[in-house]
Amino acid sequence: MKQYQFWFIVGSQFLYGLEVLEIVEQRARKMAETMSKQLPFPLIHKVTAKTNQEITEIIKEANYDDACAGIVTWCHTFSPSKMWINGLNLLQKPYCHFATQYNREIPNEEIDMDFMNLNQAAHGDREHGFIVSRLRMPQKVVAGYWKDKEVLERLGGWMKTAVGVAVSKSLKVMRFGDNMREVAVTEGDKVEAQIKLGWQVNTWPVGTLVEYMDAVDENEIDSLLETYRAKYDIATQDIKTVRYQAREEIAIKKLLDSEGCIAFTNTFQDLYGMRQLPGLATQHLMAQSYGYGGEGDWKTAAMTAIMKAMGENGNGASSFMEDYTYHLVKGQEYSLGSHMLEVCPSIAAQRPRIEVHPLGIGNREAPARLVFEGKPGKAIVVSLVDMGGRMRLICQKIECVKPIFPMPNLPVARVMWRAMPNLEDGIACWLMAGGAHHTVLSYDVTSEQMRDWARMMDIEFVLIDEETTLEKLEEELMIKDLVWKLK
Ligand code: MN
């Protein structure tokens, strides 16, 4: 992960005299330094802005500097907002309005007009909020006291999301083969995706991958086997098959890295010259933060890479996932998610096992794969669909549970969850919104982050959570359809 930072731009004006400006500057610097210790990325105090020119200059710099992943603004005092128009009109980076104030309390005995003039964030923030709203900018406000843990967590979540924007804008997806034949939801307009989201989605011949596989030497495979042994239990005698997956992993990684791609797709319908569908290979690549989508699904591959980057330490507990089957027993309504092989071990509840089993489709040798249960806990599933003319991002809250059966004959990684608001309405809402069978399942990216990301990328966002009803969602989708046609 690149070393990203965020710039703290504090609004003020000359009206209060140089002494006040000096105090504002000192406090802003101290706040940025203190907060940086608890935030996932450094917040750098850049300027206490008093003029149109200062604001315009710093925003031009922020646009140009690749290390700057976004700006955080705050108005310690009153900052007349016509000064901000020219600069904000140029802004190309994510923006967050941090509505806080230096002091937590109003000091009863000490408060006088000097205090009021110095500490008037409530006043200044309103002028600032107006202009951002008037400019129709993607608006994000985090409000609260700057030392509070929950407030810093929200600001930190927004920072991670802004990094997801930076990752998206330079993201390259490598495709081996096309989509699974006849499948609709994994299709989409790649030109529109590049215009809106920045993704470069292109194809490479499977034959090139096979050439890379042939060039992998046994020492490289030995060394990757050691890594597998350290991280996973090898629950098979068939080491030859595990070694073949290692060969595939090394070759895919070399090809991805040589082209600067951080996500890839393949399809069991185009494995020409390969003896196994990559299973363990793909799973271990995801564990190293590469995105993946099965059956040519480049949208989910890209979203997996982005959401991993938006998670803890730039490689969160997020995986490619697929809705497979339901348990419709009253009081025990669950979904079972999995894939034919490719689920990321970052979401495992226990140490994964490497096993070898035949695969019914693809007409190849039995592949090695990681088998495990997903961990219990709150999570989300996310799907990006192309509605024709626009992209829609659908996010559903789920509660993962320890699978209620051991399922000893199921030779794949599996996750069991309760969909929100409940299984039946959750299914109906998901289908009405057009959500795909492929998703990204994440334990550490929140629905607020996904909403923020969609706003920053200027795409439609649909949330299905505890509060969602079919009736409300139907109306919401109808209104959004109209709004997005006008946009
Ligand atoms: Mn699939």
Whole-Å CA distances, 163 to 56, 152, 167, 174, 339: 23, 16, 6, 21, 28
Q: Give which of 436, 445, 307 is closest to 379, Cα–Cα.
A: 445
∠ Cα 21 23 24 (to 5°): 60
Tell me what pLDDT residue 166 has.
Answer: 97
Enclosing H/E stretch for 396 = strand 391-401
Tell me what pLDDT residue 363 has.
Answer: 87
Q: From the CA of 186, how far away is ligand 1's center (Å)? A: 9
Q: Write 143-151 long-range contacts (CB < 8 A, 24+).
A: 143/99, 143/100, 144/99, 144/100, 145/100, 145/101, 145/104, 146/31, 146/34, 146/35, 146/98, 146/100, 146/102, 147/34, 147/104, 149/38, 151/100
Q: From the CA of 215, how far away is ligand 1's center (Å)? A: 29
Tell me what pLDDT residue 170 has.
Answer: 96
SS3 105: coil
Q: From the CA of 213, how far away is ligand 1's center (Å)? A: 24
Q: From the CA of 105, how far away is ligand 1's center (Å)? A: 55
Domain locations in the chain as residue ranges: 5-165, 172-486
Q: From the CA of 267, how far away is ligand 1's center (Å)? A: 9
Whole-Å CA distances, 51 to 26, 87, 97, 128, 258: 19, 10, 18, 14, 46
Question: What would the 3-class secondary structure string for 326-374 be?
Answer: EEEECCEEEEEEECCCCCCHHHECCCCEEEECCCCCCCCCCCEEEECEE
Q: From the CA of 159, how far away is ligand 1's center (Å)? A: 31
Q: Per-residue pLDDT tens for 324-345? A: 999 999 999 999 999 999 999 9
> Which one is the CATH code of 5-165: 3.40.50.10940, 3.90.79.10, 3.90.1150.10, 3.40.50.300?
3.40.50.10940
Tell me what pLDDT residue 371 has.
Answer: 98
Q: From the CA of 187, how far away is ligand 1's center (Å)? A: 13
Tell me what pLDDT residue 1 has.
Answer: 56
Q: From the CA of 340, how far away is ligand 1's center (Å)? A: 7
Give the total residue count for the chain: 487
Tell me what pLDDT residue 327 has.
Answer: 98
Residue carrying the six token digits 């249960």: 373
Q: From the CA of 449, how far away is ligand 1's center (Å)? A: 25
Residue carrying the six token digits 């505890």: 466
Written as six digits, the tokens of 88 are: 């904000």
Q: From the CA of 284, how far away is ligand 1's center (Å)? A: 18
Rounded Cα gap, residues 331 and 52, in angstroms:
61
Give Cβ neighbours of residue 192 (< 8 Å, ≥ 6 apart): 386, 390, 391
Half-sphere exposure of 83 (CA within 13 A, CB side): 23
Would the CA dihedral through 311, 317, 320, 323 be positive or negative? negative
Q: Please, where are the H alpha helices in 185-333?
A: 190-197, 206-215, 218-231, 239-259, 280-287, 298-309
Whole-Å CA distances, 263 to 19, 225, 390: 53, 23, 22
Q: What does residue 195 show for φ and ψ, rounded to 5 degrees?
A: -65, -50
Residues 414, 441 contacting (CB under 8 angstroms):
no
Q: What is the pTM of this model?
A: 0.97
Q: What does residue 12 show for φ and ψ, rounded to 5 degrees?
A: -155, -160
Residues of the chain with pLDDT under 70: 1-2
Tell me the residues surrounding ligand 1 (ion) with CB < 5 Å.
294-295, 322
Residues 24, 121 contacting (CB under 8 angstroms):
no
Rounded Cα gap, residues 39 and 325, in angstroms:
40
Q: From the CA of 229, how far away is ligand 1's center (Å)? A: 28
Q: Per-residue pLDDT tens for 127-178? A: 999 999 999 999 999 999 999 999 999 999 999 999 999 999 999 999 999 9
Tell me what pLDDT residue 362 has.
Answer: 83
